[in-house]
Structure 1
Amino acid sequence: MSAKTADILVWGATGFTGQLVVKYLATEAVQQGFKLAVGGRNRQKLDDTMKQLGVKPAVVLTADSGDEASLRAMVKQVKVVASLVGPYMQYGEPLVKVCAEEGVHYCDLSGESPFIQRTVTRYARSALDSKAILVSTSGFDSIPSDIGAYLAVQRLKKLGADAGHVRSGFQARGGVSGGTIASILGVLENPDKDERKRSMGPYALSPVTGPRSKVPAFIDRMTYQGRTQWGMYWLMAPLNEQVVNRSWGILEAADDSASRAQAYGPKFNYAEFLSVPGGPLVAFLGSLTFFSAFATLFFPPFRWLVKKLVTQAGDGPSAESQKNGWYEVTTVAKSVDGRKEVQVVGKGKGDPGYAATAVLISSCALCLLKDHDRLSPLAKQGGFLTPATAFGNVLVERLEATGRFSWTVEDSESAKDK
């Protein structure tokens, strides 16, 4: 086995989000004592970008995203890869393959269900054999949803109840990243109709299918302690719901006692929405406006126009906009009989799609490098996992330690004592 020359590799270090990740991890490398590598296709561009950032990585590595041999030679030199090169359906599979085969831990920002489904199907056995841990959706898509649901359900379980209906309401200030837009368009343009069809639906990424009541497409709501929060359709809901349901399915299908103890329960039912002020009429009109605009993306001329007008992958907001951004996600979980309820409020500082996401994926990489011994037995087995099933409370602790993220957990019993 070749000697490792670095600990964490940022693949796609010259892109907009990649640079944010490099800057954050460069600071953490000094404080936590690890070697940071940066990677990309063009050595000169990498050197110029690092000079502009004022970062001196331990190693600079080059490879081609379509050349498996060069990728394999690269990942053999590191312990963890954080991949920022998308759209992942176009560029991501060879890197996942070699990480799974070489036992190198991996995380990315993919929000592309067909890519996740494809790589899990093809390389799960290799990852289990090598004990590599691979985690997609390691940014704003979909950590707030996945961790919020996880914390809410675990509190319910402490109250002696399995989860029934679980809902999350999002509020945020900041733009959708260019990479996210590119991912959505890539899924819509996927020429494999069968794959596209298989990747749809709330349980498309789950190893098992669960029950789900019919959720209104235009309006949703959640109630905690008699207070109702209304919501409209949310752009990231389909992906986030798939990820949360994958966490449910992984724990439901697990055969080790520690994972079974964390299982959400057979009647777990998750959905999320974008919170709106006012009542159901405001939610309905907001959803109607969204669907009317989104429908145009099914026509190639409008997709071309969106590609030209919206933020491109690799671009991003100003430093001031990133700093002033934020998000807040409220998750309410009710027991199956409806008698017990839990509320989790998760908050993040920084533009969700960029500044916050850079810290989120960096923290996942650090969990893989620094906290491996603290991860669950399920995670230590390796394989394709979600943020909740790979990291759980270890990620929560690491994120809260940054001072940029917080979660408050309250249940109906503790609320009565206030």
Structure 2
Amino acid sequence: MTSAASFPRKYAVTVYGATGFTGKLCVEYLAQHPQGDAFNWAVAGRSTQKLQALKQQYNLPSNVGILRAENSTDDVNSSGLKEMVQQSAVILNLVGPYELNGSFRLAKLCAELGTSYTDLSGESKFNARLQSELDETAKKSGSIIIPSVGYDSIPLDVTAYLGARRVRELAAKKSIDLAELQVKAGNSCMGGFSGGTFASMKEMAGGWQLKPAKPLAIADACSEKAPEKCTSAVITPNATWIAPFKTWGTINPLGIHNARVAYHSARLVDGSSSTETYGPNFNVVDCVIPPGMTSLPWPIAFLFAHIIASITKMVLLVIDRSQMVRNFVTRFMPTGSGPSRKVQEAGFLDLRALAVGYPAKSQQKPVASVARWLIKDADPGYKMTSRLAVEVSLFLALATGEATQPDKVKGMTRGVRTVASLGDEALATLLKRLKEFVGISVEVTDWNEGGLGKKLLGAGGNKEKL
């Protein structure tokens, strides 16, 4: 087992925003982690008094540090940030909304000082800014910056990659030249909602564009001259047939950001390899399967999908246009609130991503695979997300530490990354951790049951580089 002394920094992981709703879930999980005696970690936030109370509440051992750090968009109102970053191998930032609360400043310090950084951002504009402004700095310092390491957006990102990779393998075996690779993902889930999530949704409200459009990858830099590169629409059709569930999926509001992350992985993976995994004609659709939908006859499910999509669009439009509605919801769902323990324990997530490769030659048949992400007895937005965030952060600390560490992973690319773009060895190691410690099962199987749908672009279609 790795000794705490082998880490180049005092703390392997520092949980910044530890006294918030999700922060406490992360602290609770870390306090009970099976590898807890292998590393030192810390809790951080604005109030030393609250952090001390938190440490007492969870009976945290003496090797858990307390770091007071206050973040802001300016130097005058920020203190302790640099000291926190210098002492930590990885900063897990849970203080959202991220753009509003000056998290770019914290990520920039991490990139400059060689500290890795993770967060739970669901804000595409914030992620795009990290990529465009911090990637080169992080590469030079050896830092790895990975935003969106929870339900947003790891399950879709990972399953889209694994499905695409398997489709390429099948196509190569059959000597098929693919014209397009398409991923249709449906997720059936049960869970709760928190004030923090709604606060992030308010920040994203300007990006909820309600017309279907092929998105630009997050890697496209945001700028005043091209703001559409931050908010290009990624909306599923009102109803999408999800073959592995044998029913219709409908709009997933969270899928807007998740799809952008998957497109970003496509750019990073294909851009760093001589062989294509996704290809220039890669498309992804992220849907939700409402409860009970799989038991309905398909015509009724199709109708319900359209009704739910219309309601969802209306709600998003109201959130976008009405400050009064946003204030009303915030009043009854303040930041720091969240689902009960009972709701968290009763939740689940079953995501099935069907990857289909369409041949350039019409006489050849498509090849397909299904990548499935499954977790039971865990609300995906909070219990699963908090554990995902901790495990990704611990993985980065273990995998990029001293050479004597048994968990070290060779060849990991530094910079602003996604989980799917870390490399096959790193991804396999991380998925092994998730299965062992969190109970997340990820499987890939070949698909031969039909229901593949039509090509979105067609042979020789949009050749825009991802």
TM-score, with normalisation over the residues of structure 1? 0.87
Q: Say if 2:164 is the partner of 1:153.
A: yes
The question of whether the paired residues in 2 share the 8 Å contact of 1:206 and 1:242 is answered with no
What are the residue-to-residue correspondences of 1:9-158 with 2, within 5 Å? 9-28=14-33, 30-31=35-36, 33-56=38-61, 57-66=63-72, 67=75, 70-91=80-101, 92-158=103-169
- The aligned residue for residue 394 of structure 1 is 429
Deviations, residues 303-331 of structure 1 (Å, cap 9, x unaligned): 1112123x332212221211111111011
Tell me the distance in 1 between the aligned counterparts of 2:324 and 2:79: 38
Deviations, residues 278-337 of structure 1 (Å, cap 9, x unaligned): 43111101111211222211211111112123x332212221211111111011001122
The structure-2 alpha-carbon separation of the partners of 1:280 and 1:261, relative to structure 1 and needing over 3 Å to count, comes to same
- The amino acid of 1:217's aligned partner reads P
- The aligned residue for residue 303 of structure 1 is 326
- The amino acid of 2:194's aligned partner reads S
1:134, distance to aligned residue in structure 2 (A): 0.5
Q: Say if 2:399 is the partner of 1:371.
A: yes
- The amino acid of 2:110's aligned partner reads C
Q: 1:291 aligns with which of 298, 313, 323?
A: 313
Deviates more, 1:244-253 or 1:215-224: 215-224
The structure-2 alpha-carbon separation of the partners of 1:25 and 1:116, relative to structure 1 and needing over 3 Å to count, comes to same
1:360, distance to aligned residue in structure 2 (A): 0.5
1:404, distance to aligned residue in structure 2 (A): 2.0
The question of whether the paired residues in 2 share the 8 Å contact of 1:267 and 1:336 is answered with no
Deviations, residues 185-213 of structure 1 (Å, cap 9, x unaligned): 023379xxxxx9xxx9622403599xx9x
The structure-2 alpha-carbon separation of the partners of 1:104 and 1:160, relative to structure 1 and needing over 3 Å to count, comes to same
The question of whether the paired residues in 2 share the 8 Å contact of 1:3 and 1:77 is answered with no
Q: Which runs of no fewer than 5 residues in structure 1 stay unpaired?
A: 191-195
- The aligned residue for residue 324 of structure 1 is 346
1:165, distance to aligned residue in structure 2 (A): 1.4
Tell me the distance in 1 between the aligned counterparts of 2:201 and 2:64: 35
- The aligned residue for residue 255 of structure 2 is 237
Aligned length: 394
Tell me the distance in 1 between the aligned counterparts of 2:200 and 2:164: 30
1:3, distance to aligned residue in structure 2 (A): 7.0
The question of whether the paired residues in 2 share the 8 Å contact of 1:9 and 1:81 is answered with yes
The question of whether the paired residues in 1 share the 8 Å contact of 2:370 and 2:446 is answered with yes
- SS at structure 2 position matched to 1:159: helix
- The aligned residue for residue 3 of structure 2 is none
- The aligned residue for residue 203 of structure 1 is 216
1:414, distance to aligned residue in structure 2 (A): 11
Deviations, residues 51-101 of structure 1 (Å, cap 9, x unaligned): 111213531111111255621111101111111111100221111010000
- The amino acid of 2:268's aligned partner reads I
Structure with the larger helix share: 1
Tell me the distance in 1 between the aligned counterparts of 2:235 and 2:337: 35
Say what the alpha-carbon RMSD is for the aligned residues: 2.7
The structure-2 alpha-carbon separation of the partners of 1:103 and 1:215, relative to structure 1 and needing over 3 Å to count, comes to closer
1:178, distance to aligned residue in structure 2 (A): 2.5
- The amino acid of 2:107's aligned partner reads V
The question of whether the paired residues in 1 share the 8 Å contact of 2:236 and 2:252 is answered with no
Tell me the distance in 2 between the aligned counterparts of 1:39 and 1:201: 40
The question of whether the paired residues in 1 share the 8 Å contact of 2:11 and 2:89 is answered with yes
Deviates more, 1:283-292 or 1:99-108: 283-292
Q: 1:275 aligns with which of 289, 293, 297?
A: 289
The structure-2 alpha-carbon separation of the partners of 1:52 and 1:3, relative to structure 1 and needing over 3 Å to count, comes to same
The structure-2 alpha-carbon separation of the partners of 1:230 and 1:104, relative to structure 1 and needing over 3 Å to count, comes to same
Tell me the distance in 2 between the aligned counterparts of 1:188 and 1:315: 20
Deviations, residues 362-408 of structure 1 (Å, cap 9, x unaligned): 1101110123375463xx33111112113522221111112521112
The structure-2 alpha-carbon separation of the partners of 1:260 and 1:27, relative to structure 1 and needing over 3 Å to count, comes to farther
1:43, distance to aligned residue in structure 2 (A): 0.5
- The aligned residue for residue 193 of structure 1 is none
Q: Which runs of no fewer than 5 residues in structure 2 stay unpaired?
A: 1-6, 173-177, 222-228, 360-364, 401-406, 451-466
- The aligned residue for residue 459 of structure 2 is none
The question of whether the paired residues in 1 share the 8 Å contact of 2:192 and 2:344 is answered with no
1:19, distance to aligned residue in structure 2 (A): 1.0
Q: Say if 2:234 is the partner of 1:220.
A: no
The structure-2 alpha-carbon separation of the partners of 1:221 and 1:142, relative to structure 1 and needing over 3 Å to count, comes to same
Q: 1:188 aligns with which of 192, 200, 205?
A: 205
Deviates more, 1:120-129 or 1:66-75: 66-75
Tell me the distance in 2 between the aligned counterparts of 1:201 and 1:332: 18
1:357, distance to aligned residue in structure 2 (A): 0.5
Tell me the distance in 2 between the aligned counterparts of 1:220 and 1:269: 14
Answer with 1 or 2: which has the greater Rg. 2
Deviates more, 1:364-373 or 1:381-390: 364-373
The percentage of aligned residue pairs carrying the same residue is 30
